[in-house]
Amino acid sequence: MERTIDQAGKVVLRAAERDGIGTVWDRFEQQTPQCGFGEMGVCCRNCMQGPCRIDPFGEGASRGTCGATADTIVARNLARSIAAGTAAHAGHAKHLAHALLKWAEGKAPDYPVKDGAKLQSLAAKLGIDTDNKSTQELARAVAQAALADFSEKETPVAWAAVNVTQGRLEKFLKYGVIPTGIDAAISEVMHRTHYGVDADPINLLLGGVKCALADFAGCHMGTDLADVLFGTPQPVVSRANLGVLKQDAVNIALHGHNPVLSDVIAQMASEMNEEAVRAGASQGLNLVGICCTGNEVLSRHGIPSATHSVSQELALLTGAVDAMVVDYQCIMPSLGNLAECLHTRLITTMPIAKIPGAVHLEFKEETARKTAKEIVRLGIESYKNRGSKSVNIPPYEETSIAGFSTEAIVGALALLNKDDPLALLIDHIVNGNIQGVCLFAGCNNVRVTQDLNFVTMAKELARQNVLLLATGCGAGAFARHGLLTSAATNEYAGFGLKLVLTALGEAAGLGGPLPLVLHMGSCVDNSRAADVAVAVANKLGVDLDKLPVVASAPEATTEKAISIGTWAVAAGLPTHVGVVPPVIGSPAVTKVLTEDIRDFFGGYFIVDTDPVSSAAKLMEAIQARRKGLGL
Amino acid sequence: MERTIDQAGKVVLRAAERDGIGTVWDRFEQQTPQCGFGEMGVCCRNCMQGPCRIDPFGEGASRGTCGATADTIVARNLARSIAAGTAAHAGHAKHLAHALLKWAEGKAPDYPVKDGAKLQSLAAKLGIDTDNKSTQELARAVAQAALADFSEKETPVAWAAVNVTQGRLEKFLKYGVIPTGIDAAISEVMHRTHYGVDADPINLLLGGVKCALADFAGCHMGTDLADVLFGTPQPVVSRANLGVLKQDAVNIALHGHNPVLSDVIAQMASEMNEEAVRAGASQGLNLVGICCTGNEVLSRHGIPSATHSVSQELALLTGAVDAMVVDYQCIMPSLGNLAECLHTRLITTMPIAKIPGAVHLEFKEETARKTAKEIVRLGIESYKNRGSKSVNIPPYEETSIAGFSTEAIVGALALLNKDDPLALLIDHIVNGNIQGVCLFAGCNNVRVTQDLNFVTMAKELARQNVLLLATGCGAGAFARHGLLTSAATNEYAGFGLKLVLTALGEAAGLGGPLPLVLHMGSCVDNSRAADVAVAVANKLGVDLDKLPVVASAPEATTEKAISIGTWAVAAGLPTHVGVVPPVIGSPAVTKVLTEDIRDFFGGYFIVDTDPVSSAAKLMEAIQARRKGLGL
């Protein structure tokens, strides 16, 4: 299997092979064949009488030591994955809530509210009285409401309840899956998956859905608070792929997920440029992004994306990265070793995320700019150590238009229909210029030729006039392949879609269509796509599960992707996963996830590893929804 | 390997074998050989690029796909286990806090505060102003303080901070391991163990310790609130082992952990007795306990314990159990199948714990007595279905003295030294009549001949004048073997220990010594043992890690046991585990847990599967501590 379809990646991988340096692909090969029990989800390690495993072919043990069946084990494992994914998003959102609160309390002056209008509308949505409140007071109230959402209480998690349709909320209440506290929901899953608690697979899966809705709340809160603190993204033109690294610059890569540190670094990059030049870097300071931290600073500051996900090591292997600053999530531990072998300083910044081989420079919101400066300075020092070492920057970069927040999309629509921007989108869905909407999300996965599923599926769907949205590492994949451009629309969009995107792009002064794929942000920003869907549903007066809207994580890796996928299904979306999740050891659970759950929520999982047939299935789902709407 | 040393168990196992009915032991055999990677903790399933596994012998892969080493993987897995254990105890405690709050608010009349004095002292300990407060008001304040402890806040979890020595608290603060919210601590562990977050094994282990201290808080809260609601246990004489089932009674087994339902059933047993007799059961209604629910109703109502842990299926296999009512934790899913094959009704009661094959009768505190009645009635109905089916009740039961809460132990000491009860205990430790104290806790484990480690170690240590405390299924093991009796003291205690226990027992009017092992309650009641240690430490003016106090879970199974063991170590105790936990795939982590952690907290793990040498190692630790105190 080819490792990647990305030209830049191929260059660096060839060099790594030549130099005998292992990467994630080599380690994966060393891991294969992987344990089939684990792959199928039928391995249980939840007590010290285990590990137990069920023979999925019915020849070995049919029950674990305690009597758990494959159904119970698969459902328990899945629920725990959702809990972990939720915890990651929750931690991210909580962090921002603390930053906002600290600013409101005068403890973190480096976090002034940047988007007061979003703060206002957020407060209003939460039912907070906004009259005669200063920005500080409002910020405090919103931050406190956010922090309250983590604790168990008698009312639903606000960020889950106010961000869905009324019909959805009623469904969630009906099935008892509305969480009343984000951390409480995580804790409940960990309790019910403990030895000898929940053994009923359906009950466990509903527990997982409840936790996934807490994940939705965490994602949405992460988006909202980042917008309040750092500004709501607006379309921005930048570049993507390893070619954005510069030989004669101090290259600092910002990697991880939370803009809480990286945005501050981005804010002060210009101040530090001169220092980089003085250190001998004629091109000054060059910040680049990796993974979702990259998406955050791309969306708000136009900082180019070096790469994402599975290829993060390749950035270091160019030899051109002087410092890589990481916060948390999706940061391969291997970076520590690589950094030790290179001149690169790997800088960890979060107390909960240290990596052997890294320098740890703890970040606190109270002293954000100060720490940010120290970090950049470390990068400049490191550049000096690079000396005359040769770098291998592959000459590949693509234009990448990003920043399509919900507000930005509505803004673009408003250019053509000021009074009723959504009507325009709906009209085009009704008249068939846009057949439906597909949100691409999730990671790359070393099991899949990097970017192949993303790119193939996007082209297939675009040709059939599906409006494409993307977040996270999915958006990164499209960026690397030039699909976040007007040119891609001209090349790949079907007639109707091209028509709409061209009208919008020209009204926006792009001199061409909007990009083929609209980059909505980081993985928490899947909430933005949800907002668009909710707005359309509300306008049409139907629930989410009636819309021709689908989602796909064609190269998913993380537990976060599992929790996002689960809330997408609970939100009513046909949701494609392009790698086989560890559930197939239980045909019963697999059937629930891919079929029966539809009776509960309207959404369901589609598992297919072939991108062409996956696109066909999503297209089929879109057509069925259109039919349901009488279109 | 022999399955059990318990005579009653042997009888039922022989019959099961004859009838071709499989039990946990058979399923375990079917699982063997178990996966060595899982056993050693070097299997990672935290993302969909896995499962990965590290070859502990250095011949295969040394890193997971992401680059995680064995050290990272083992530490992550351990931290997640602690999170699950904590979640279980937290769920239990939270449940009681809700019951108390509902009573205070007039919504749950079946939960009147039974121990007002404990409520008072608990409130005072928490810094709640108790002046002029009604019991209701106090109950509400305490319940609210309890619920507040689950949410992240700026101050330490109260139940963790107020229940340790000042020195311990300072140590916890120094190492950043004091949790600020129980659910928040669980969530944090789940975040930091997500793909690409924490890769530093020490940092991960400290995160695990922080969560374990949240577990300590959960356990202590569980004990405190149960005492407030249902009364603080005082010594009670009962019986134990399968022989407590009665052929001509409606036998209802109460199984699980939380007294919130079972205590209400126990309270109304006498009311329902007549109904059972009318149904033809000449011996009326016979409630028996299993696992920690059993310990709870034993301690407060003298309800006999049928069995515990690994032998729970055997109770059903007697054919004499008409209904088994379960709440949550340690309830084998296999009970559902067994019940289907027998006349027994398995009744699940908690929304988070359903079992295929069971009847679900959801329990709410608001209607506790009503539901309890329905449940008992189901048992009576089921008795009628038993008809003339033969039962196989093994004729084994032992006297079992339980109910040794901290208050009861201090009360017993006060009989000999009213003004300064603890001084008496300390005097005997100083003069060597008591060499030290050992707390036995934890489960049985199918890997260990049932009860063998418990009984062997207790006899070894008692002979050497170690005062023995026990909780949970450990206490159950001692009960089955007659070690919770005066006779056992006479037979097995060393000279000094016998002297002390005899003086105390005679002062208490037992006409003989206190039992060889003091049964302190369920597994959350390990907090009671901690209280005794803290009181002694405070009185001596030394910290916990100086005391000749050790702990042992010689047949541990659950993730709860892992979290309890971890807080015992953090509390400064040498802590023995008699099964090999899934950590040995990382020699580095193993060394931290068994050696280096001592430099942090004074406590450390001792892993040894041989009960005789385990006892010797604990004795050595006790002697070293005595020496440290100049004794």
Task: Residue A154: count other Cβ atoms within 10 Å of its Cβ.
Answer: 5
Helices and strands, number each (H, E), in chain B: 27, 16
Quote the CA–CA distance of A398 and A541 in Å, as a whole number.
40
pLDDT for res A544 = 98
d(CA A107, CA B386): 70
Output the pLDDT for position A631.
93
Please give the share of chain B, as a percent, with pLDDT higher than 90.
98
Q: How far is A200 from chain B (nearest CA, A)?
A: 5
Residue whose C-alpha is closest to residue A248's, from A223, A285, A216: A285
pLDDT at B60: 86
Tens of pLDDT along A213-267? 999 999 999 999 999 999 999 999 999 999 999 999 999 999 999 999 999 999 9
Give the model confidence (pLDDT) of A481-531 as tens digits: 999 999 999 999 999 999 999 999 999 988 999 999 999 999 999 999 999
pLDDT value, residue A380: 97
B345 in Cβ contact with B359 (< 8 Å): yes
DSSP B64: -
- Please say whether the beta carbons of B232 and B300 come within 8 A: no
Strands (E), A403-457: 436-440
Per-residue pLDDT at A9: 98
Does B84 sit within 8 Å of A194, measured CB to CB?
yes
Which candidate from A27, A186, A203 shows the least CB-CB separation from B64?
Answer: A27
On the question of pLDDT at A388 being above 90, the answer is no
Residue B321, SS3?
Answer: strand
Nearest-neighbour CA in chain B from A510: distance (Å): 38
Contact A49 B447 (CB under 8 A): yes
Mutating which of B178, B197, B334 best tests the A interface, going by the most A Cβ atoms within 10 A?
A: B197
Interface of B with A in 306-335 (CB under 8 A): 328-335
Closest in B35, B60, B87 to A187, CB measured? B87
Cis peptide before B304 (omega within 30 of 0): no
The two structure tokens encoding residue A414: 């408003």
Q: Residue B131: which residues within 8 A CB-CB, separation 6 or more?
A: none
Closest residue by Cα to residue A186 from A170, A207, A204: A207
Whether A60 has a pLDDT exceeding 90, the answer reads no
Model confidence at A322: pLDDT above 90? yes
Q: What is the pLDDT of residues A395-421, one digit of tens each?
A: 999 999 999 999 999 999 999 999 999
Tens of pLDDT, residue by residue over B387-444, are 888 899 999 999 999 999 999 999 999 999 999 999 999 999 999 999 999 999 999 9
- Min Cα distance B325 → chain A (Å) is 13
DSSP letter (8 states) at residue A441: -
- pLDDT per residue over A151-184, tens digit each? 999 999 999 999 999 999 999 999 999 999 999 9
Q: Please report the pLDDT score of residue A58 as a whole number.
A: 85
Which one-letter amino acid corresponds to residue B3? R
- Give the gap in angstroms from C-alpha A55 to the nearest C-alpha of chain B: 10
Non-local (6+) Cβ contacts of A251 within 8 A are: A245, A286, A288, A320, A321, A322, A323, A379, A383
The reply to whether A356 touches chain B by the CB within 8 Å rule is yes
Chain A interface mutation, best of B21, B25, B40, B45, highest count of A Cβ atoms under 10 Å: B45
Q: Do B191 and A90 touch (CB under 8 A)?
A: yes
Cβ contacts of B72 on chain A, cutoff 8 Å:
333
Per-residue pLDDT for A364 more than 90? yes
Strands in A395-539 per DSSP E: 398-402, 436-440, 466-471, 517-521
Between CA B12 and CA B30 the distance in angstroms is 20
CA distance B609 to B554: 8
Q: Are B355 and B335 in contact (CB under 8 A)?
A: yes
Give the bridge partners for B551, in sequence order.
Answer: B439, B575
How does DSSP classify residue B236? Answer: E
* Cβ count near B278 (within 10 Å): 10
Does the pLDDT of residue B112 top 90, yes or no? yes
**Overall residue count recorded for chain A in this entry:** 631
Separation between Cα atoms, residue A402 and residue A404, nearest integer Å: 6
Structure tokens at A317: 């292997």
Q: Is the predicted pLDDT of residue A461 greater than 90, yes or no? A: yes
Does the beta-carbon distance from B334 to A67 stay under 8 Å?
Answer: yes
Inform me whether the C-beta atom of residue B609 falls under 8 Å from chain A C-beta atoms: no
Q: Which residues of B touch A152 (CB under 8 A)?
A: 94, 147, 150-151, 183
ipTM above 0.95, yes or no: yes
B461: pLDDT strictly greater than 90: yes
List, for residues A70-119, the tens digit of each pLDDT value. Answer: 999 999 999 999 999 999 999 999 999 999 999 999 999 999 999 999 99
Q: What angle do CA B439, B442, B448 make, to 5 degrees?
A: 115
Residue A34 in contact with partner chain B when CB distance is under 8 A: yes
State whether B63 and A35 contact (CB < 8 Å): no
First CA to last CA across chain B, in angstroms? 41
**Does residue A33 have a cis peptide bond before it, meaning omega lies within 30 degrees of 0?**
yes
Q: Is the pLDDT of residue B523 over 90?
A: yes
Sheet strands (E) in B353-444: 359-360, 398-402, 436-440
Q: State whether residue B20 is helix, strand or coil.
A: coil
Nearest CB among A39, A47, A355 relative to B51 is that of: A39
Report CB contact under 8 Å: B61, A31. yes
Terminal C-alpha separation, chain A: 41
Chain-centre distance for alpha carbon A499: 29
Interface test mutation site (partner B, options A34, A43, A74, A183, max chain B beta carbons within 10 A):
A183
CB B520 within 8 A of CB B469: yes
Q: Which two tokens stand for residue B424?
A: 């008496």
Contacts of B174 (CB under 8 A, 6+ apart): none
Q: Which of B184, B556, B558 sits opposite A183 (nearest CB)?
A: B184
Nearest by CB to B48, from A150, A199, A556: name it: A556
Task: Name the nearest CA neighbour of A617 among A436, A446, A444.
Answer: A436
Q: Token digits for B422?
A: 């603890």
d(CA A287, CA A297): 9
- Contact yes or no for A27 and B63 at CB 8 A: yes
For residue A162, give Cα distances in angstroms to A123, A135, A167: 11, 22, 12
CB atoms within 10 A of CB A341: 12
CB B552, CB B575: distance < 8 Å? yes
Looking at per-residue pLDDT, the higher value among B344 and A57 belongs to B344
**Is B84 within 8 Å of A190 when comparing Cβ atoms?**
yes
* Cα B200 to Cα A332, A351, B69, B233, B600, distances in angstroms: 12, 11, 10, 44, 17
B190 interfaces chain A, CB cutoff of 8 Å: yes
> Quick check: B528 pLDDT over 90?
yes
**Whole-prediction pTM value?**
0.98
The answer to whether B63 contacts chain A (CB < 8 Å) is yes
Q: What pLDDT score was predicted for residue A458?
A: 98
Check whether A63 has a pLDDT greater than 90: yes
Q: Is B186 on the interface with A (CB under 8 A)?
A: yes
A623: its two tokens:
């057509």
The CA distance from A362 to the nearest CA of chain B, in Å, is: 13
| Closest residue to B557, CB basis, from A49, A192, A197 | A49
Q: Which among A182, A192, A562 is the nearest to B353, CB-wise?
A: A192
Q: How distant, in Å, are the alpha carbons of A391, A602, B263, B288 from that of B294?
A: 69, 44, 10, 7
Q: Measured between beta carbons, which residues in chain A are less than 8 angstroms from residue B91?
A: 187-188, 191
The count of residues in chain B is 631
Which residues numbered 163-182 in B keep a CB inside 8 Å of some CB on A? 176, 181-182
Radius of gyration of chain B (CA): 23
Percent of chain A surpassing pLDDT 90: 98
Write the single-letter amino acid at B40.
Answer: M
Residue B63 is given by DSSP the state B
Given an 8 Å threshold on Cβ–Cβ distance, is B187 in contact with A87? yes
| Partner-chain residue, chosen from A35, A52, A91, that has the shortest CB–CB distance to B188 | A91
Q: How do B236-240 and B398-402 pair as beta strands?
A: antiparallel
pLDDT of res. A623? 98
Mutation to test the B interface, candidates A197, A328, A445, most B Cβ within 10 Å: A197
pLDDT in tens, A289-314: 999 999 999 999 999 999 999 999 99
Question: A593 vs chain B: nearest CA distance in angstroms?
Answer: 17
Nearest-Cα distance to chain A for B433, in Å, is: 37
Name the residue with higher pLDDT: A618 or B58. Answer: A618
Residue A223 tokens, joined: 């988006």
Contacts of A351 in chain B (CB under 8 A): 176, 203
Residue B604, strand partner residues:
B574
Q: Which of residues 554-593 of B touch A (CB under 8 A)?
A: 556-562, 579, 581-582
pLDDT of amino acid A231: 98
Count Cβ neighbours within 10 Å for each residue of B3-32 and write b for 16 or more, e otherwise: bbbbebbbbbbebbeeeebbbbbbbbebbe
Window 460-499 of B, Cβ < 8 Å to A: none
Q: What is the pLDDT of residue B202?
A: 98
User: Is residue B150 less than 8 Å (CB to CB) from chain A?
Assistant: yes
* In the predicted structure, residue B197 carries a pLDDT above the cut 90: yes
Hey, which residues does B185 pair with through a beta bridge?
none
A191 and B222 in contact (C-beta within 8 Å)?
no
> Between A and B, how many CB-CB pairs are < 8 A?
328
Res A387: pLDDT: 83
Assess contact for B593 and B605: CB atoms under 8 A: yes
State the pLDDT at residue A312. 98
- CB-CB: which of B194, B328, B333 is closest to A88? B194
Alpha helices by DSSP H, listed for A149-242, are 158-161, 166-174, 182-192, 201-230
